[in-house]
Amino acid sequence: MDEPHPDTQRLVQAAVPDPHAVRSEEQLLALYPTPVARSWAKESSVVTPGYRELIAASPFCVIATNGPDGIDCSPRGDAPGFVGVLDERTLMIPDRRGNNRLDTLRNITRDSRIGLVFVIPGIGEAVRVRGVATISTDPNLLRDNAVRGIEPVTVLVVRVDRIYFQCRRATLRSALWQAPHVDPASLPTPGRLQAEVGAMSEPDARDYDRSVAAYAAATLYEGPSKP
């Protein structure tokens, strides 16, 4: 007898409920201990002086937004303090030079909810923020966020709903700040990743890999767009 087609197998598997799947909050809570009170009490609706200092020390954050195709996460990075604190409820994030896909910004035009995670090299705790964002072209904000005399095209203005810190267990388990650097030659290159999905030919991928580092360094804040 012939083996069923893989698509048929997937349909059959999808139709059979997974007995190990957790499908309700009640089931979930039964699996884990009750969190201690301070796990909830540490949340703040304002950016306290301590959180202001931590954000000012962070050179890197990840932005989560909600789009029509699902949840998206996008990294942002610059010199420490690149995310500004306008007041105790408001952050500003300059939109620096990128690939112009605008995934995050497109999502925000449809759904303003946003999540942020800030990390600081050498610090175990991360800072988490939930809020809503608007995209601003306010000339004053653009001017205040200029680097090398170059203004960002837009600035994200984030109204903070909740801010709190994530404990250090993840960074301890990963030894994130103690881990040795990986040899880039041991892992797939950006060119190879694009070739594998048909975005470019193998020769073009090799050319891309030879030039990508220099091109990125030369166009951190300005320069012509590259397809």
Q: How far apart are CA 135 and CA 109, in angstroms?
A: 8
Contact 166, 117 (CB under 8 A): yes
The per-residue pLDDT for 158 is 99
DSSP of 103-162, one letter per residue? HHHHHHHH--EEEEEEE-TT-S-EEEEEEEEEEE--HHHHHHT-BTTB--S-EEEEEEEE
Helix (H, G, I), strand (E, B) or coil at 203: helix
Contact 113, 66 (CB under 8 A): yes
User: What amino acid is encoded at 161 in this protein?
Assistant: D
pLDDT at 223 over 70: no
pLDDT at 9 over 90: no
The per-residue pLDDT for 5 is 67
| Ramachandran area for residue 162 (φ above 0: left; ψ -120 to 50: alpha; else beta) | beta
Q: How far apart are CA 41 and CA 157, in angstroms?
A: 26
pLDDT at 226 over 70: no
Give 7 or 193, the one with higher predicted confidence. 193
Distance of CA 221 to the CA centre of its chain: 19
Q: Which of 39-53, 66-80, 211-225 has the lowest average pLDDT? A: 211-225
Q: Which domains does the chain have, with CATH numbers?
A: 39-174 (2.30.110.10), 184-218 (no CATH)
pLDDT at 176 over 50: yes
Contact 103, 77 (CB under 8 A): no
Q: How far apart are CA 184 and CA 181, in angstroms?
A: 9
Site of tokens 């540490």: 42
pLDDT at 98 over 80: yes
pLDDT at 10 over 60: yes
User: What amino acid is encoded at 87 in this protein?
Assistant: D
Q: What is the mean pLDDT of the chain?
A: 93
User: What amino acid is encoded at 76 in this protein?
Assistant: R
pLDDT bucket at 179, cuts 50 / 70 / 90: confident
Query: What are the backbone angles phi and psi of residue 73, rounded to the nearest 5°?
Result: -125, 140
pLDDT bucket at 16, cuts 50 / 70 / 90: confident
Edge-to-edge strand ranges of the sheet holding 90-94: 70-77, 60-67, 113-119, 126-136, 155-166, 90-94, 84-87
The per-residue pLDDT for 222 is 81
Q: What is the pTM of this model?
A: 0.88
pLDDT at 90 over 60: yes
Residue-wise pLDDT tens digits, 22-55: 999 999 999 999 999 999 999 999 999 999 999 9
Q: How far apart are CA 216 and CA 51, in angstroms?
A: 31
Residues in the chain: 227
The per-residue pLDDT for 227 is 34
Give 125 or 3, the one with higher predicted confidence. 125
